[in-house]
A and B are shown apart, each in its own frame.
Chain A
Amino acid sequence: MSGLHVAIIAESGRQYRQLAGAIRGVGVEAIHDVAVEEAVRWLDLRPCDVCVLSHELPGKRTGLDLLLDIRKHCPDLPVVMVSRAGSDRVAVAAFHADVIDYVPISRGYEVAVASLIGQLKVTSRIDQILPAQIIPAGIDEALMRLTYQNRLRAVGRHLDLYGFRRIYILEVEGGFVVRATAADGRETETLEFADQHFPQLLASCAAARGEGERHWPVPGSLLPTGYEDFLRAVGYELDQRAAEAITISELDDLAVVSGVGRVDEYGVTRFGPLQWLLRRPDVERLLDEAYRRRAPVPAGSVARAGRGPAVLRRLTG
C-alpha cells in the first residue's frame, strides 16, 4: 500500500467522497478532508504529498484565490485543480499558479484525478497487478499480438460494451487516447488504453470469441455492427500499410482514418501521410472484406483478392 498522503479541498462532502473513493482505488489510504477555512494552516503544519483542490468552493473564495495563499506557504506542493468552469480561463490561471494538472469536472473526472495521483508515487503498480503476458490456454497466439487489428478490436469491444459513440481515437506514446460520447449522449469522456493493458484486453477479447458470448451493439447509421468489427477491419488495413501515429474520427456520416504509412501513388508505394474518408458504402466494403477473410472459402470457389484500401478515397499522400 502506498504511503502517499493526499489532501482534498472539496466543494462539498459529496465531491470529497467521490474523489476519495477513486483515489483509494489506486492504493492510497491516507486521504484527508481539509476544510477551506483552515486549508492553508493545515497544509503548513502537516506536510502532504499532493493536494486536490476544487476551483468551486463553499463561501466567497475560489480555488484559485486559495491556491495563491497556499503557494506562499507551500511553494512546491503538487496541486491538482478540478473545476466545472467551461472555459480555458481557469485552466490558464491554474497553470500560472503551477498546478501539476487541471482536470475539468465531467463524468469520470475523479478517475482521471486518481490516475494522476497513482502516477506520482506508485510507479509501475499496474505492471505489478497485471501479469506480463496473459495468454489463455487454447488461444491462438496471433490474437495476442499487438497489431492494430487486435488492439483496435479490443478498444472497439470496450466501446461497444459500454455504449459509447461518436469516437475520436488518437495514438500517442504508450497507447491510445479515446474521446467518446457516453451512452446517455450528454457527456464526452476521455478513455486511455495504455500499452501495458493490452495483454489483458486481448485475452478478454480472445476469451469472448464466439457468437454466443459476443456483445451485439446497437447498430448506427455509419457503423452497422458497432465498433469492434469496424475498428478491427480498419486495424487490418493499417497493419497492411505498416501504419503509425494513427487517428480515427467518427462523425455522423463519415469516419476519417489518418496517420503515416505506405500509400500508393502513381503505381509506386511510398511512405507518407495517409488519410481515408469512409462513408457508409466504404465501411460496408471494409466489413465485407473482413468477414470474407475470416470465413472459410467454400470448396470449388475462388477466393476474391481483398481490395484493401484501394477502395478508399484517399485525400492526401
Chain B
Amino acid sequence: MSSSALQATTLRILLIDDDPDHVLLIRRALRDLGNERDVESLSDGEEALAWLDVAPEPPDLILLDINMPGLSGFEVLSRLRADERHKRVPVVMLTSSDAQADIARAYELGASGYIAKPSHYQDLRAVLGNTVLYWSAMRRFAGPEQETGECT
C-alpha cells in the first residue's frame, strides 16, 4: 500500500454515542493519520438512523455505542445491516470492557470490530488506520464490487 494511496483516502465518520469527548479523540487520531475529516456526532440511535436516511452518501465508518437510551446499539446495527445502502459500511461497536457476550452478539449481527471503553487512544488509532486500509482496498476494487470473472 503506498502512502499516496492512503493520503487520497479520506474518512467520514459517524459517531453514535452520548460522550462528546470521543469526537475530539477521533479528530486527533485522524489528524495523526493525515486525515482531518468530518466527524458527525449524534447521541441516540433514532436520531442516527434518521440522519443516515437523508445523508447524501453513507459515512466511511460508524462508531456505535451499544448502551444508549432508547434504541440500543444492537437494534441500530441490525437495521443498518438490513439496509442495502449501509450494509458495507464498517460499524465498530463501543462496548464496556470485557463484555464478551455483547461483542459476540455484535459480530453475529454484522459488526466489523469493537473498542472497549474506557478506550485506549492506540485502539482508536488502530481501528481508524484499519478503516483507511479497508476503504483504500474497496475503492481500488472499482466498484465497490468488481467481478473477477472466476467462477467457483
Within B60-107, the residues touching A (CB, 8 Å) are: 81, 87-88, 100, 103-104, 107
Q: Is the CB of A270 within 8 A of B24?
A: no
Stretch at the interface among A11-19, A169-177, A297-305: A169-177
Interface of A is mostly: strand
Within A112-164, the residues touching B (CB, 8 Å) are: 112
Q: Is the CB of B21 within 8 A of A272?
A: no
CB contact under 8 A between A259 and B122, given known A88-B21, A170-B113, A271-B141: no
Within B13-34, the residues touching A (CB, 8 Å) are: 19, 21-22, 24-25, 28, 33
Q: Is the CB of A316 within 8 A of B88?
A: yes
Does B43 reach chain A (CB closer than 8 Å)?
Answer: no
Give B118 Cβ to nearest chain A Cβ, in Å.
5
From A88, A270, A271, A277, give the contact of B107 (CB < 8 A).
A277
Give the interface centre of B119, B125, B133, B146 by most chain A CB atoms within 10 Å. Answer: B133
Q: Is the CB of B134 within 8 A of A268?
A: no
Within A46-89, the residues touching B (CB, 8 Å) are: 86-89
Within A241-296, the residues touching B (CB, 8 Å) are: 244-245, 247, 249, 251-254, 256, 258-260, 262, 264, 267-273, 275, 277
From B112, B119, B138, give the contact of A247 (CB < 8 A).
B112
> Which chain B residues border A179 with CB–CB below 8 Å?
120, 123, 126
Q: Is the CB of A260 within 8 A of B147?
A: no
Give B21 Cβ to nearest chain A Cβ, in Å.
4
- Residue on A with the closest CB to B142? A271
Does A102 reach chain B (CB closer than 8 Å)?
Answer: yes
> Which chain A residues border B100 with CB–CB below 8 Å?
251-252
CB contact under 8 A between A260 and B151, given known A88-B119, A190-B120: no
A: contact size bracket: 35 or more
CB contact under 8 A between A277 and B114, given known A172-B130, A269-B147, A272-B145: no
- Residue on A with the closest CB to B31? A95
From A88, A177, A267, A315, give the contact of B152 (CB < 8 A).
A267
Does A101 reach chain B (CB closer than 8 Å)?
Answer: yes
Give the interface centre of A91, A112, A252, A267 by most chain B CB atoms within 10 Å. Answer: A91
Q: Is the CB of B133 within 8 A of A172?
A: yes
| Complexed CA–CA distance, A92 and B1 (Å) | 31
> Which chain A residues border B24 with CB–CB below 8 Å?
92, 95-96
From A96, A112, A190, A271, give the contact of B123 (CB < 8 A).
A190
CB contact under 8 A between A245 and B137, given known A96-B24, A262-B148: yes
| Complexed CA–CA distance, A33 and B110 (Å) | 50
- Residue on A with the closest CB to B118? A87
Q: Is the CB of B28 within 8 A of A95?
A: yes
CB contact under 8 A between A259 and B147, given known A170-B127, A170-B129, A247-B113: no
Q: Is the CB of A271 within 8 A of B145?
A: yes
Q: Is the CB of B110 within 8 A of A315?
A: yes
Within A88-113, the residues touching B (CB, 8 Å) are: 88-89, 91-92, 95-96, 101-104, 112
> Which chain A residues border B104 with CB–CB below 8 Å?
251-254
Give B97 Cβ to nearest chain A Cβ, in Å.
8
Give A1 Cβ to nearest chain B Cβ, in Å.
28
> Which chain B residues border A260 with CB–CB below 8 Å?
134, 137-138, 141
| Complexed CA–CA distance, A91 and B124 (Å) | 13
- Residue on B with the closest CB to A264? B152
From B3, B129, B141, B149, give the contact of A272 (CB < 8 A).
B141
Q: Is the CB of A171 within 8 A of B133?
A: yes
| Complexed CA–CA distance, A255 and B81 (Å) | 20
| Complexed CA–CA distance, A268 and B119 (Å) | 40
Give B103 Cβ to nearest chain A Cβ, in Å.
6
Q: Is the CB of B147 within 8 A of A268?
A: yes
Residue pairs across A and B with Cβ atoms less than 8 A apart, 17 shown, are A86-B118, A104-B120, A190-B122, A245-B137, A247-B113, A247-B130, A251-B103, A252-B104, A258-B113, A260-B141, A268-B150, A269-B150, A271-B145, A272-B88, A277-B107, A310-B152, A315-B107
B interface residues, Cβ below 8 angstroms from A: 1, 3, 6, 19, 21-22, 24-25, 28, 33, 81, 87-88, 100, 103-104, 107-108, 110, 112-114, 117-123, 125-127, 129-130, 132-134, 136-138, 141, 143-152
Kindly list the 3 A-B residue pairs having the minimum CB-CB distance in the complex, ordered from nearest. A172-B129, A245-B133, A271-B141
